[in-house]
Amino acid sequence: MNAQIRQTAANEWEIPRGFVPGMRVPGRFFLSKNLAETLEDGALTQLANVATLPGIIRCSLGMPDIHWGYGFPIGGVGAFDAETGVISPGGVGFDINCGVRMITTPLHVSDIPDMPGLIEDLFTAVPTGVGSKSPCRLSQQDLTGMLENGAKHAVMMGYGTERDILRCEENGAMDGAQPEHVSKKARQRGIPQCGTLGSGNHFLEIQTVDKIEDQETADLFGVTEGQICVMIHCGSRGLGHQVCTDHLQILEQAVHTYGIELPDRQLACAPLSSPEGEAYFGAMAASANYAWANRQIITHIVRELFVKKFRIEYEEMPLVYDVAHNVAKWEEHDVNGVRQNVCVHRKGATRAFGPGRRELPHEFQGCGQPVIIPGSMGTPSYLLAGTKGAMEKTFGSTCHGSGRVQSRSSAKKSQTGEEVARALLAQGIVVRAPNQAAIAEEAPEVYKSSSEVVRTVHDAGISRIIARLRPLGVIKG
């Protein structure tokens, strides 16, 4: 690790001002010594570059799944002052509100004698892969409703229950959405894709709860040992990607308009209060709402299949929680002892609000927000809870997954999809994807250890482990 980097506490490190020119605040990241060898110099530089942005508060932050990204590193968090701060698409990502949700079932492993058959049925029911199209036929009015009201609109259309809305971050819809700032091209891409899984690292996974570390909180979350659960990971599909592309072009010009000096053009931004900044925020929020609607529709498809296949009730598959990974949001935080409204960018990071936050469902007020951290096909996923430590150290943020350590092209050269699938099957894990290349790109070996990443944030006190889940069957985009 660079000699300028100093350790400040267990699993906590600081990048001093001056690491790159123009840093307004230090950079801080969370990393165990076992994960130190996975740290890329480029990701460190990006974290330091974020610290040069106008109005950034306290420090730029990196989670233990940190790796090189566009503008911000993936696993990057930055909070910005309402008056002097900026908003940057590079701090959100192209897949706006890529997120994950966890659904429980009344089933156990013995209730599913044919896992390959279940995975094949789910693969048929949930459109997956590049260019996949929704079984829903949305009108422009439906799309506008989803851009404005997210999961709420999907539930209103018959996809799910009112309780689902209460178990989503932001109740499944961000305030401030402005569909008028979503381009015609973005809308055209979104119409056929709501209710589809997409490609890349998106997945639908059947899991079993194989270890509970905090029984009291697990009971509050509705999770029991041996239980079959479903995890869904996807985002705003082509609509969100197009929104990011469209507004990046505008903000690249805004940088010059407002005289903002950047160390990296990928950090294109505009003042939060500017017309350009407000337009991007409105379009980004609308895209986030679309993503919540997307996951809501997939949830409904999965529930209907389980109801038919296993003769259970629809209501016996409740949503534990749904969290966003790529989003910028207005939140209240304590800054130097003063309660302040700030814009928090989380790029490949999860909100991890601690106990007492009014944004949480009533039943979680005492234990903190459910935090869902997926593994990588062959590795465990985890259910955690937000902490007071996260509120103090990271603006209520934690990791979002394992974090890549190998590129997709390199992964495909290392082993074939058939080889990866055979190795997973030997571990009792069934995998299905549109093609073998998609499996090779997402091999467990190309990611950091999910267990080590989660243990790092647990030991740092920015979230705490509640339960571990083992994969049984995976659909990869």
41 among the known binding-site residues? no
Would the annotation count 240 as a binding residue? no
Check whether 345 is labelled as a binding-site residue: no
Q: Which residues pair with 204 in a beta bridge?
A: 232, 475
Radius of gyration of the chain (CA): 21
The beta-strand segments (E) located in 248-380 are: 270-271, 319-324, 326-335, 338-347, 350-351, 370-373
Residue 99: strand pairing partners: 234, 324
Residue 203 β-bridge partners: 233, 476
**300 labelled ligand-binding:** no
Annotated ligand binding at 381? The verdict is yes
Confirm or deny that 289 is annotated as ligand binding. Answer: no
The answer to whether the annotation marks 85 as part of a ligand binding site is no
Tell me which of 300, 345, 400, 458 is the catalytic residue.
400
List CB contacts of 445: < 8 A, sequence separation 6 or more.
406, 411, 414
Burial 393-412 (b: 16+ CB within 10 A, else e): bbbbbbbbbbbbbbebeebb
3-state secondary structure 391-427: HHHCCCEECCCCCECCCHHHHHHHCCHHHHHHHHHHC
| 362 labeled part of a ligand binding site | no
400 is in an annotated binding site: yes
Q: Is 356 annotated as a binding residue?
A: no
Is residue 326 marked as binding? yes
Residue closest to 230 by CA, chosen among 374, 376, 104, 108: 104
95 exposure class (CB count in 10 Å sphere: 0-12, 13-18, 19+): buried
Has 362 been annotated as catalytic? no
Tokens of 46: 């990006």
402 in a known ligand binding site? yes
435 assigned to a ligand binding site:
no
Residue 171 annotated as binding?
no
Per the annotation, does 49 bind a ligand?
no
List Cα–Cα distances, 31 to 7, 41, 58, 368, 456, in angstroms: 10, 14, 19, 23, 6
Cα 337 to Cα 167: distance, rounded to the nearest angstrom: 30
Strand partners, 205: 231, 474
Residue matched to tokens 């998106």: 202
Q: Is 233 a known ligand-binding residue? A: yes
247: annotated binding-site residue? no
Annotated binding site for Mn(2+): 95, 202, 233, 325
Annotated binding site: 95, 201-205, 233, 325-326, 374-377, 381, 400-403, 476
Annotated binding site for GMP: 201-205, 325-326, 374-377, 381, 400-403, 476
Give catalytic residue positions. Answer: 400
